[in-house]
Amino acid sequence: MPIRHSLIREGFISGAIGATAVVLWFLIADTLSGQPLHTPAVLGQALFSVFGPTTHDRTSTHIIFYTLFHYAAFSAVGLLASFVVHRAETEPTVLAVFLILFVVFELAFYGLAAILAQTLMSELAWYRVAAGNLIAAVLMGTYLWRRHPSLRQEFASALGGTE
């Protein structure tokens, strides 16, 4: 019996996997450096200064705000990745285009993280944020890859230019 794939379910699961991987990465890295929850507090403060009122200046508010934003953003990314995987089942060339866009997005993300680390979030090391993002991308991709075993053939077809 074939596996039934739900685009939305897989999108939210892959997003939750990515978001949780980053949360755990930050928790481990911050704890090892002697400052548990430092990264989400700094990122939450930066987000709060852009999106929210500055009257609630409590660290716990920053962490909660960042966590909600973080999971929502990863859910959106997971839904997009799931859409691409499902679309690739009927049109394999979508995978090649997505791979190129993914690499461009990752490079832009690392550049933005480096810039923000020097200006807005001088307390964070950009490579720590970039490493968390890379871990999340690998885990999300692995989840979707395992859910869709036919991706190997579709990916080879997309990169080989055959349909």
Overall size of the chain counted in residues: 163
Could you tell me the two tokens for 38?
């430092």
Q: For residue range 39-98, list pLDDT tens digits in order.
A: 898 888 878 777 766 665 788 888 998 999 999 999 999 999 999 988 888 887 787 788
- Lowest average pLDDT, out of 60-64, 70-74, 128-132, 153-157, goes to 153-157
Q: Which amino acid is at 114?
A: A
| pTM as predicted | 0.82
Show the CA angle centred on residue 99, arms to residues 95 and 102, nearest 5°: 130
Average pLDDT, the chain: 84
- Residue 135: pLDDT above 90? yes
